[in-house]
Structure 1
Amino acid sequence: MFANLLIGLREGLEASLIVGILVAYLVKLDRRDLLPKMWAGVLAAVALSLIAGVVLTFGTYGLSSEAQELIGGVLSILAVGLITWMIFWLAKTAKDLKSHLQADVDKSLTMGGWGLAIVAFLAVAREGLETALFIWAAVRASGVDAVPLLGALIGIAIAIALGYLIYRGMVKINLSKFFAWTGGLLIIVAAGVLSYGIHDLQEAHVLPGEDYIAYDFSSVLPPESWWAVLLRGTFNLRPVTSWLEFSAWWLFVIIVGLLFLRMIRSSKKPVSA
């Protein structure tokens, strides 16, 4: 539940900030007449994200178990790639997000009001599709349906509330620190999704090594126990893990974690003129 709450909170807050920046800039330009078109773009992006979630959830019904494992493994690895790109992109551009969006709005105004709807749609749809794919992969990895989805909805609700309070000037958050800490936690969550994606590909007989077990805690940690469910729901860790899954988890955390830490530290250094 925690992992999906974190995903919903982080992605939802980013989308809320984007919408808040767009609304504030239009109000500043005294172009409130374009707000309905902007909201149309936002709602279209939300609808697309919901449709993507439905397709991911029900699209594999009727396929063989091996085909389902293959699709699940490929999409899980794709989700890891997208969330990793998002973590680094946001860490690099968070402080310039406002100026980038305002520049996009300025360009769209020369195209008419529907250009702004396209800007809003693309900005929010990117976050929504990433969220739908990664939550689907995390739910699949945890093996539990209701609790992770509830966590994601709670995270999104908190994000929307925070976004509104920030827009109204009632709350101030150090966004650089927020995205840095949540990015570090999401690296661990993404490592678990990667490990489970490899497990799916092993069960689909695409990758070897399913029978080469790195550790097996099932005797002291039964897969259906609440501890096992907590580990799967939080960090997507399984009591029985192959060497390939184990190696991928650690390599991802070490390599991506060090690169992320290096980027965070370099972004804090003053830039000479």
Structure 2
Amino acid sequence: MNQSMFIVWRESVEALLVIGILQAWISQQSQSHRLSKFLWSGVLLGLLLSGLLALLIMFAGDAMSGALNEWFQAGMALIASLLMVQMVGWMHRHGRSLKQDLQRHADQHLARRGGLGLMLLALLAVSREGSETVVFLYGAGARLRGPELGLFAVGGLLGLVLSALTIVLLHSSRRFISWRRFFALSEAVLLMLGAALLVSASERIGGQLLAMNLPEWVYGSVGDALWDSSHWLNDSHGIGGFLAGFAGYRATPSALTLAVWLGYWLLIAGWLRQRREEPLPCLG
């Protein structure tokens, strides 16, 4: 539930921010009423495109069974993890100039293609956020069944509500949290979620490796726990469960799980060190 709520919240805030910037730009144009129709047509088409992607992914998952389905879900979790890291990098590169870039692209599309160009810009922006949301949610919720899946869906709905409230809060007052702090905080959580999804993907891959005819040391590195910290911090409920869902914590990690988790954070640390002198996104 917490994972889905944060994913939908973060992606919806970015989508609403883009729509808000384009709507503000339209309000300054001479044909604002006509252009607004193109904008919202693009938003609707972007949502439909994201919904189509969701149906295709679910159909593909349902059509597969056994080992093939496990590999597919592992692949989706891996893609979701990589996309989260890519998103953080994209915001570092473009966050400061997002508003100016969108308005410049809107001017260019309007000059070249009229309202259809604006509709295309909105379609691409919304479908990008929507498709990322679909991949993230599938990667995070692929293992859930029954009541857990229901809570996961409720979390997504709460994320939508929270995103609207967040946009209102960020636009109405800077005393609580600025855009700069919002993106810095959400990027940190995205990186933790990326670790959790990567660990989930590695566990699925490890499960498939155990079914293969491989050397004994491979089985030991994949199936044997290095330690058991469940007596102090259980990963199935409470704080441990929260850390498991948001950061990839495991009370009984295998050598593979530990190597993947440590390798991820070492790479992230090196990447962040290269960018430590770059300013955080500032959207006004």
- Coarse TM-score class (shorter-chain normalised): 0.7 to 0.9
Secondary structure at 1:241's aligned position in 2?
coil
1:186 pairs with one of 186, 190, 211 = 190
Q: Tell me the C-alpha RMSD between the 2 structures.
A: 2.7
Match of 2:30 in 1: 30
Letter in 2 for 1:18: V
Letter in 2 for 1:177: R
Letter in 2 for 1:249: W
Match of 1:2 in 2: 2
Q: CA deviation at 1:141?
A: 5.7
- Which ranges of structure 1 fall in alignment gaps of 5 or more residues? 269-273
Q: 2 CA distance for matches of 1:162 and 1:221?
A: 32
Q: Answer whether contact 1:91 1:180 (CA < 8 A) is retained.
A: no
Q: Answer whether contact 1:148 1:233 (CA < 8 A) is retained.
A: no
Match of 2:40 in 1: 39
Letter in 2 for 1:68: N
Number of equivalenced pairs: 266
Match of 2:75 in 1: 74
Superposed CA offset, 1:44-71 (max 9, x none): 1112223323333343224222111100
Superposed CA offset, 1:31-90 (max 9, x none): 321111111111111122233233333432242221111001111111111111111111
2:142 pairs with one of 133, 136, 140 = 140
Kindly report which structure 2 residues correspond to 1:154-173, keeping only aligned pairs within 5 A, or say none: 154-164=158-168, 166=170, 169-172=171-174, 173=177
Kindly report which structure 2 residues correspond to 1:206-221, keeping only aligned pairs within 5 A, or say none: 209-217=221-229
> Cα–Cα, structure 1 residues 180 and 89, in superposed 2: closer, same or farther, change >3 Å?
same
Q: CA deviation at 1:174?
A: 1.9
Superposed CA offset, 1:137-162 (max 9, x none): 11236773222332232122211233
Q: CA deviation at 1:3?
A: 2.9
Q: 2 CA distance for matches of 1:13 and 1:224?
A: 30
Q: 2 CA distance for matches of 1:147 and 1:257?
A: 33
Match of 1:271 in 2: none
Match of 2:275 in 1: 263
Secondary structure at 1:210's aligned position in 2?
helix
Superposed CA offset, 1:86-109 (max 9, x none): 111112211100011011101111
Secondary structure at 2:227's aligned position in 1?
strand
2:258 counterpart of 1:254:
no
Q: 2 CA distance for matches of 1:140 and 1:240?
A: 21
Q: CA deviation at 1:260?
A: 2.9
Secondary structure at 1:60's aligned position in 2?
helix
- Which ranges of structure 2 fall in alignment gaps of 5 or more residues? none
Letter in 2 for 1:263: R
> Cα–Cα, structure 1 residues 25 and 225, in superposed 2: closer, same or farther, change >3 Å?
closer
Q: TM-score, with normalisation over the residues of structure 2? A: 0.82
Task: Give identity over the alignment, percent.
Answer: 25
Match of 1:126 in 2: 128
